[in-house]
């Protein structure tokens, strides 16, 4: 019996829509990461991009547990003196909610070239509208 290995050119890719309204950020990120990697497919191969495209809508209505909306902080550093910036979950949710979902999903996929290819198939929108209706996405 030979071991099956999927080829990236032969993978059938679907489009999925995840509605993040009133869902926990971690649950949305896990669902998106699994679809992006293709974990639910029979042809899943860990070193090949076998995943689907994922559209996340209503990112501005995502929730997080406990007091994390005021206690959890996101930090960025420009590399220059005084270049540290801190922002709470609530502040980022108001400013750009797409960044929250994108960062959560990014942490759940491989941190290499395969992960970069997988990450490009993620589309996140703060509202309920998206420009990908021509692809006939399925609801999860």
Q: What are the structural domains, with CATH classification, of the chain?
A: 8-64+95-139 (3.90.1180.10)
What are the two backbone dihedrals, phi and then psi, of residue 37, each rounded to the nearest 5 degrees? -80, -25
Using alpha carbons, select from 80, 76, 54, 73 the residue that is nearest to residue 140. 54
Per-residue pLDDT of the chain (140 residues; tens, 9 = 90+): 898 899 989 999 999 999 999 999 999 999 999 999 999 999 999 999 999 999 999 999 999 999 999 999 999 999 999 999 999 999 999 999 999 999 999 999 999 999 999 999 999 999 999 999 999 999 98
Sign of CA dihedral 27, 32, 35, 36: negative
How far, in Å, CA of 69 to CA of 82, rounded? 25
CA distances from 62 to 19, 35, 89 (A): 9, 19, 11
Whole-number CA gyration radius for the chain: 17
CA distances from 122 to 80, 86, 109, 117, 139 (A): 31, 25, 11, 10, 15
Q: Name the token pair of 127.
A: 């509202």
């Amino acid at each position: 019996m030979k071991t099956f290995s999927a080829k990236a050119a032969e993978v059938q890719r679907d489009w999925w829509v995840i509605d993040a309204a009133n869902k926990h950020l971690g649950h949305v990120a896990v669902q998106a990461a699994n679809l992006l990697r293709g974990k639910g497919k029979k042809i899943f191969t860990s070193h090949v991009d076998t995943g689907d495209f994922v559209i996340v809508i209503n990112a501005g209505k995502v929730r997080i547990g406990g007091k994390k909306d005021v206690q959890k902080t996101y930090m960025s550093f420009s590399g220059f003196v005084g270049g540290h910036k801190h922002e709470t979950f609530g502040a980022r949710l108001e400013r750009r909610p797409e960044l929250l979902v994108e960062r959560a999903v990014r942490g759940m996929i491989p941190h290499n070239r395969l992960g970069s290819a997988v990450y490009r198939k993620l589309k996140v929108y703060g509202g309920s509208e998206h420009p990908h209706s021509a692809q006939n996405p399925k609801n999860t």
